[in-house]
């Protein structure tokens, strides 16, 4: 197997797996056309690079609307999974940014069963149809938030998702963003990242550290404020006791705090 990052495209027939493979590789590597039946009848693998990252892209037969029996499809899936055991894989569950139907839900359940818990941790949801979202001036986040079933699904995948506009030919930015987002899988095997992506990742991590420090500082400030507020409350309670002529022997905590006078 060629050394590099293995990207395995999984999903229902018509979700846009082949088109996504072409977007990743930046060329017409896979047959992509609208069809009621799965165009891909077997595992197809094409190689290329994204920046300086060598990638092997696996296009798999779609579930549902295929001439193949489910058992045959399962055997094919097992083959590609076995190949990836000796390499480093990122599984991409391709879903069209459209209505999340019962059929899509069943497809996801089948794929989850095929992959198993260990591989699911290396799985990202890849939404296609980014062009339609752009036409409607809708972000992928809003699209997900407006769909309860999708929102629940994304949470199950720990919000590991990305969106492709497969009509943007030759645009590698969206592909680079995917690999940068999935960088733990790439960094773990020491794959060289292009300088710009590496710099963006560095800046992102710096910003995350700054945000963390800010949160800690705000938390400390809030705790200090609460302590000061408690001391002020104690002071006015004691003052209230003196002004009202109540003996000092009465513990201020036993006194009705609602009777604090305003000065």
pLDDT in tens, 15-61: 999 999 999 999 999 987 655 454 556 788 999 988 778 889 999 88
Segment 219-247 mean pLDDT: 55
Per-residue pLDDT band at 200 (split at 50, 70, 90)? low
User: What pLDDT, on the 0 to 100 scale, is given for residue 146?
Assistant: 92
Segment 196-212 mean pLDDT: 71
Greater model confidence, 140 or 118:
140
DSSP calls for 8-30 = EEEEBTTSSHHHHHHHHHTS--S
User: What pLDDT, on the 0 to 100 scale, is given for residue 51?
Assistant: 77
50 has which bridge partners? 53
User: What pLDDT, on the 0 to 100 scale, is given for residue 150?
Assistant: 92
Segment 119-144 mean pLDDT: 93
User: What pLDDT, on the 0 to 100 scale, is given for residue 217?
Assistant: 75
Segment 176-190 mean pLDDT: 67
User: What pLDDT, on the 0 to 100 scale, is given for residue 214?
Assistant: 82
User: What pLDDT, on the 0 to 100 scale, is given for residue 257?
Assistant: 44
CA 116/CA 175 separation, integer angstroms = 26
Greater model confidence, 200 or 257:
200
Superfamily of domain 5-193: P-loop containing nucleotide triphosphate hydrolases (3.40.50.300)
Q: What are the C-alpha distances in Å from 252 to residues 39, 94, 167, 262?
A: 80, 65, 72, 17
Per-residue pLDDT band at 250 (split at 50, 70, 90)? very low
Residue 57 CB neighbours (<10 A): 26
Residue 114 predicted with pLDDT over 50 = yes
Highest mean pLDDT out of 31-35, 128-132, 244-248: 128-132
Task: Report strand pairing: 44-50 vs 53-59.
Answer: antiparallel
The model's pTM is 0.66
- Provide CB contacts within 8 A for 28, sequence distance 6+: 22
* Percentage of residues of the chain with pLDDT beyond 90: 31
């Amino acid at each position: 197997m060629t050394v590099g990052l293995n990207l395995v495209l999984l999903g229902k027939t018509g979700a846009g797996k082949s088109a996504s493979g072409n977007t990743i590789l930046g060329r017409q590597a896979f047959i992509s056309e609208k069809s009621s039946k799965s165009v891909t009848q077997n595992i197809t693998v094409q190689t290329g690079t994204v920046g300086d990252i060598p990638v092997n892209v696996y296009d798999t037969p779609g579930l549902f609307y295929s001439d193949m029996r489910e058992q045959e499809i399962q055997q094919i899936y097992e083959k590609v999974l076995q190949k990836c055991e000796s390499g480093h894989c990122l599984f991409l569950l391709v879903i069209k940014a459209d209505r999340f139907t019962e059929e899509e839900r069943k497809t996801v359940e089948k794929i989850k069963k095929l992959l198993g818990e260990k591989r699911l941790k290396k799985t990202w949801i890849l939404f296609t149809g980014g062009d339609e979202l752009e036409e409607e001036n809708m972000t992928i986040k809003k699209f997900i938030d407006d769909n309860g079933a999708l929102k629940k699904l994304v949470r199950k995948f720990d919000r590991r998702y990305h969106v492709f506009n497969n009509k943007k030919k030759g645009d590698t930015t969206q592909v680079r963003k995917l690999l940068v987002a999935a960088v733990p899988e790439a960094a773990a095997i020491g794959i060289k990242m292009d300088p710009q992506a590496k710099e963006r990742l560095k800046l992102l991590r710096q910003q995350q550290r700054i945000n963390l420090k800010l949160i800690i500082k705000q938390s400390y400030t809030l705790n200090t404020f609460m302590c000061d507020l408690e001391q002020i409350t104690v002071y006015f309670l004691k003052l209230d006791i003196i002004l009202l002529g109540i003996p000092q022997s009465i513990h201020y905590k036993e006194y009705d705090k609602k009777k604090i006078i305003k000065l």
